[in-house]
Structure formats: structure tokens, C-alpha cells
Amino acid sequence: MSLENKVALVTGASRGIGKAIAQQLVAAGAKVIGTATSENGAAAISEYLGDNGKGMALNVTDSEQVAEVLKAIEEQFGSIDILVNNAGITRDNLMMRMKEDEWDSVIETNLTAVFRLAKAVIRGMMKRREGRIINISSVVGTTGNPGQVNYCAAKAGLTGFTKSLAKEVAARGITVNCVAPGFIDTDMTKALTEEQKSAIFANIPAARLGAPEEVAAAVAFLASPGAAYITGETIHVNGGMAMI
Amino acid sequence: MSNIEERVKKIIIEQLGVKEEEVKAEASFENDLGADSLDTVELVMALEEEFETEIPDEEAEKIKTVQAAIDYVKAHSDD
Ligand SMILES: NC(=O)c1ccc[n+]([C@@H]2O[C@H](COP(=O)([O-])OP(=O)(O)OC[C@H]3O[C@@H](n4cnc5c(N)ncnc54)[C@H](OP(=O)(O)O)[C@@H]3O)[C@@H](O)[C@H]2O)c1
């Protein structure tokens, strides 16, 4: 198995895409630490990971908690080889109605937290001359989407972050990439009405929502030794919705 | 004291892959020893490890020459 002896941290692994990523990394042989915002969520992650890792409670917007969790991982599992920044939220509203706290919370959770976590793992990766950072962005970060100026700004921000960090650390054997999902069947898209869904399907050549596992497969590939020469890239997983 | 100097120089030689005779006190990492900014960051990391200390970012930014590295370590280590 290609990720034997590797330690992976997946944020937001309680459900949806993050859970599928954690499961596929385990299937590839990695030890996985998955996070949720609550202790209950963390316990549920521990349960599905079994002997192959552990769930931990983490709010990615809390710097102190990030430091504590990283220390605990280091002590129990060793240095992190693979960081998957998956935790993310939406707070949709038209620009005319968007509140500053809706803007701030999305930028904090989806963008600033990625800076924070990457900063916390990069030192160890530099020393080991090896590491993978994979950020879950979104197709709408490239295409834009009405009602999501905050979310699209954060996701587009991830692309610039990813490319810049990729250039900084490429010579040290560390790759930094994005996986950009289209519409995936998770809690995030459950809120859509049937009418909204059929409107969306009209723009998706594959004519269906994607499955979390189909996003996770791209993440597992980028984490694998075979992807060592791919950096600063975005893999789009969107059923043909946008070909970029 | 010379012990610190030797240890610092040894780390510089290892980290930057330079020859011992190039590591003169006044030599600048970036201008004379061919280091880029990331090499310098890693050099500071290696010094932190060797001397079991943490060098704050604002101090680390001032460590640009062999002498500055030696001076910093001398001023902050107890041995
Ligand atoms: N679903 C899609 O169609 C789609 C499309 C494009 C991009 N994406 C991106 O893919 C990623 C995963 O999306 P998803 O659909 O799987 O989302 P989801 O089902 O809503 O799950 C979100 C995950 O993030 C965690 N989380 C939320 N806020 C957090 C915080 N402050 N600190 C730590 N963890 C936090 C949640 O933890 P709790 O369970 O504890 O709340 C949960 O595990 C996100 O970055 C999202 O933007 C999704």
C-alpha cells in the first residue's frame, strides 16, 4: 500500500467529502487523524477509523486549539506527512444583503485556517524533505457563483495560496495542490431544492451530483508517491460542469 | 567559546553545502555563500535544533552573516 507509515491529518472528517478522504487514505495504508468541531463528532470518527487513526475535536478558526491538536498528533502519531484542508462552510447571501460576519466567518474558516494549519506542518515537512498539502477548493472559486462572494473569494484565495506555497517549498520535496469539487452529494448540497438541483444538472454534462468518494480519489492520488512531480495544480472533479 | 563558533560553522557548512574556508566571520549567507531566503530559514531551524533554543522571527531575520549567527547563539546559550 502506497501510504504505509504515513500520517495524514484531514480536517472536517466527520461527514461528507472529508470522511470519504479519511477512509480512502486509510485504505491506502496511512494513519489518519480526522477532525470534527465537537467531541461527539470526534468520537464517531475514532469509531469508523478503528486502529487506523483517531478522531480529534478541532475548530480550525481557533489558533490555540490548532497548536494543541498538532502537539497531540505529534506525540501520539509522529510528524504529519499529509495535510488535507477540507473543513469548510458556506454562509450564502446576495452581496446586497451580506453581513460582515458572514464574510468574516467564511474567510476565517475556508482560507485563514488553511494558512494556520499549513504553517503548523510545514516546518516538519521541510526537515524531512517530504510532504503533501492538499486543499479542497471549489469549482465556484474559478467560475464565480451568485450569492457566494465570500465563499468564492475564499476558494479563489486558496488557489493563489497553493501556487505561492508550492513555489516556495517545491525544492524541498513538498507538493501543494488543490482539489476543486463541483456539486457533490453531501450535507452542504442537501439544502438544495429539487428545482435548484434540476437547474444545476442542466449545466453538468454528467447529469448527476458527484459522490464524496469521487473527490477523495483525486486527493488519494495527489497524496500518493506517484504524484510527486505535480505541484501548484488544481484537479477539478465536477462531471464536466466547467472544463478549465 | 570557540566551541560555539565551531558548532555554528559546522552547521553552516552542512546546511549550505559550502567549504570551510568560505565560512568567514563577515560572510553573508545570501551574498557570499549562495543561500536563498529559504536556505537561510532552514539554517536558523538547524541552529535552533543544535542549541535547543527557539529563535523568534524578528531575531531570525537579523541573522544574515556568519558572525551574526555566532553572536546570537553566544548571547542566548548557557553553555
Ligand atoms: N459539497 C459540495 O458540493 C462541495 C463543492 C465544492 C467544494 N466543497 C468543499 O469541500 C469541503 C467539504 O465539504 P462537504 O460538502 O463535505 O461539507 P460538510 O458535509 O458540510 O462537512 C463540513 C465539514 O467541515 C467541518 N467544519 C466546519 N466548520 C469547521 C470549523 N470551524 N473547524 C473545523 N471543522 C469544521 C465539519 O465538522 P462538523 O461535522 O463538526 O460540523 C464537517 O466535518 C469544503 O471545504 C467545501 O467547501 C464542497
Q: How far is the CA of A172 from the centre of ligand 1 (A)?
A: 30
The overall average pLDDT reported for chain A is 96
Among A79, A119, A122, A123, the residue to mutate for chain B (most B Cβ within 10 A):
A123
Considering only CA atoms, which residue is closest to atom 47 of ligand 1? A88
Q: Which of A127, A168, A171 sits opposite B45 (nearest CB)?
A: A127
Question: What atom in ligand 1 is closest to the CA of residue A140?
Answer: 6
Q: Which of A123, A127, A168 sits opposite B38 (nearest CB)?
A: A168
In chain A, which residues have their Cβ closer than 8 Å to the Cβ of B45? 123, 126-127
Q: Where are the domains of chain B?
A: 4-75
The C-alpha cell 502506497 sits at A2
pLDDT-derived band at B79, boundaries 50, 70, 90: low
The overall average pLDDT reported for chain B is 92
* The pLDDT of residue A199: 85
pTM of the model as a whole: 0.94
Considering only CA atoms, which residue is closest to atom 23 of ligand 1? A12
CA atoms within 13 A on the CB side of A124: 18
The C-alpha cell 482560507 sits at A111
Pick the CATH number of B4-75 from 1.10.260.30, 1.10.1200.10, 1.10.357.10, 3.10.129.10: 1.10.1200.10
**Which residue in chain B is spatially nearest to A126 when comparing CA positions?**
B42
Task: Please say if the pLDDT value at position A244 is more than 70.
Answer: yes
> CB distance A168–B45 less than 8 Å?
no
In chain A, which residues have their Cβ closer than 8 Å to the Cβ of B42? 126
Q: Which of A123, A169, A171 sits opposite B45 (nearest CB)?
A: A123
Apex CA B32: angle with CA B22 and CA B38, to 5°? 110
pLDDT digits (tens, 9 = 90+) for A67-84: 999 999 999 999 999 999
Between CA B63 and CA B79 the distance in angstroms is 20
* The pLDDT of residue A188: 86
- State the binding site of A: 12-15, 37, 59-60, 86, 151-155, 184
Question: What atom in ligand 1 is closest to the CA of residue A139?
Answer: 6
Task: Please say if the pLDDT value at position A41 is more than 80.
Answer: yes
**DSSP secondary-structure letter at B21?**
G
pLDDT digits (tens, 9 = 90+) for A183-231: 999 998 887 788 888 888 999 999 999 999 999 999 999 999 999 999 9
Is the ipTM, as predicted for this complex, more than 0.90? no
pLDDT digits (tens, 9 = 90+) for A146-169: 999 999 999 999 999 999 999 999
| Active-site annotation holds for A48 | no
User: Is the separation of the CB atoms in A210 and A239 below 8 Å?
Assistant: yes
Distant-in-sequence, close-in-space partners of A142: CB < 8 Å, separation ≥ 6: A156, A159, A180, A234, A236, A242, A244
Ordered by where they begin, the domains of chain A are 7-236 (3.40.50.720)
Percentage above 90 pLDDT, chain B? 91
Between CA B2 and CA B27 the distance in angstroms is 18
Query: How many other β-carbons are positioned within 10 Å of the β-carbon of residue A228?
Result: 13
Cell of A178: 488543490
Cell of B9: 560553522
**Residues A35-47, mean pLDDT to the nearest whole number:** 98
Chain B residues with CB under 8 Å of a chain A CB are 38, 42, 45
End-to-end CA distance of chain A: 32
* The pLDDT of residue A129: 94
| CA-closest candidate to residue A83, choices A127, A45, A129, A122 | A122
* The pLDDT of residue A128: 93
